[in-house]
Structures are given as structure tokens and as C-alpha cells.
Amino acid sequence: MRYGLSMLAMVVGAGAAYGQLHDVDVVLKVEDGRVVTGNFLPDTGEIIPWRVFSENFGSSGFPSFTADPGFDSLPGTFAANTPVGLSVRRALRVWDDGAEHFDAIPAERIEINRGGIVVLTPTADPDPGAALPTLQLGIAGSNGRIHVHPWYTLMSPAGAGVYLLELEVWAGAFEPSEPVWIVFNQNRPVDEVQRAVAWVESNLASPGCPADFNGDGVLNFFDFSMFIALYNDEDPRADLAPPFGVFNFFDVSAFISLYNQGCP
């Protein structure tokens, strides 16, 4: 249940108009010569910086397979014909829900396929400075947009689990993006996936900065927007204070307190 939304609306003003957030595509833009990953705020189309995505294998009806997230951009983001691709930064990891970490490298690997060209997650983390396994996703169209959906397949034994893929996105001569994480769920409960996503956000995307909800290392209005969207969804990530399972002013107050602490 949820209380006190009017109080929250007072805190953040018009931002409370944002609706639900959906992890769909990785939206690309360029800032200061670097690729930046984001997500569309559904009500406004605004691109909010975003680095942690999640998806379910089997979401399109085929087991151990998904074509999401795709990679999208607004027209004019890139020069026509700019090649855009991804590199795999680490071996795949699997979530330990009891111990709450992503330390283990499973037998499973993920194959990413674009037009018959594939890249496989490595069996061990690449050495620092070594070339990363990479895959060109496509080239920007004449309008400067790219929108592609690679195919992700969880390879045998394809056991139930929550898997963590760490990527970076590159485009032409721009500096590659900061790390991007996709949490893939293979037949595990939603609440376990939410715990795994929350762990990635607070331990990998923005360690020591719990109010940095979109994980870009900066505290600003985007984080308020994110908190509101998650609060409206009654997402456990917004359930910051007792009584847990209830969304009320104590969660809002806890968020404001975390926000005021700032980032290290």
C-alpha cells in the first residue's frame, strides 16, 4: 500500500507527473565526445542517463532467448553511417541470492547475435588493457539514428538464475560509454531480480551514493524523477524505510536524507 503521495508531489513539484518507468531499450546519446547510455522517460520522451537494465529470457516466447534490450537513439545523434557497437567487459556472472553478490562465473555464457555475427561472453574476465570481445550492431542511418535489437541467447546448460552482463557501447571515434549492466532473468522470481538489480545499482553503478537512483554519479532532478517513478510502481528499490512493504512518508523522508548526504 502507499500513502502520502501528495507530500511527495509537494517535495518535487511537477516531477510527480512522471509515470511508470520501463526498462526497454538502451538509448544512446553523445555528450562531450563520449557515448552516454540512457532511458526515455515515457511521458516526456526526455532521455535520462541510465546504466542498469533488466530483461527476461523467454519474454518473446522462445526459451533462453530475448531480443531486448535493443539500442536506440534519436535522429541526429550520430553522423550518417557511424558504426555503433558493444564490447563485453567481463565474464558473465550469476547472482547468489542468499549471500547477495555476483561473484560466481557460471557454466552458462550469453551469445549476442546481430545479423549472424556473434560475440560470446568470455569464460574469464579479459586482462586489463586487453582488447574486449566486440560486436558491431549496425550503422547510423542517413537521419543519424540507430535502432537495432541484437539477439541474446543463454547457452547450455541455461539453468535458472539471474545473470549479469557488463558491456560498454561504442560509436565511431567517440569515447566508449561508461560500463552498462544488463541483468537477465532466467526463470527466477521477480523479487529476486529486483534485489539483484538494486545490488548492481548500489555496488557497481554508484557505490556509496544510494540516492543516485539512475547511477550516473550525479545527484540531480533525474534521481527525484526516478525515485518517484519507482515509488509509484511500489518498487522495492523505493522502499527505503520501515515499515517495509508500505510506501509512505518515511520512504520519502529517507530518500531526502540520502539525497542530502550527497555523493562521495
* Contact residues: Ca ion, CB under 5 A: 212, 214, 216, 218, 223
Phi, psi angles (nearest 5°) of residue 233: -80, -5
CB of 226 to Ca ion, least distance (A): 8
Residue entry with cell 544510494:
210
- Residues of 214-239 as b/e, b for ≥16 C-beta within 10 angstroms? bbbeebeebbbbbbbbbbbbebbbbb
DSSP class per residue in 119-155: EE--SSPPPTTSPPPEEEEEE--TTS--EE--EEEEP
Closest separation in Å from C-beta 215 to Ca ion: 7
In the block, residue with C-alpha cell 526498462: 23
Q: What angle do the packed helices 5-12 and 249-261 form, to 10 degrees?
A: 30
- Min dist. Cβ of residue 174 to Ca ion (A): 21
- Of 68 and 212, CB closest to Ca ion: 212
Q: Which residue's CB is nearer to Ca ion, number 29 or number 147?
A: 29
Q: Smallest distance, Å, CB 214 to Ca ion?
A: 5
Residue 16 or 119 with smaller CB distance to Ca ion: 16
Q: Which is nearer to Ca ion, 243 or 262 (CB)?
A: 262
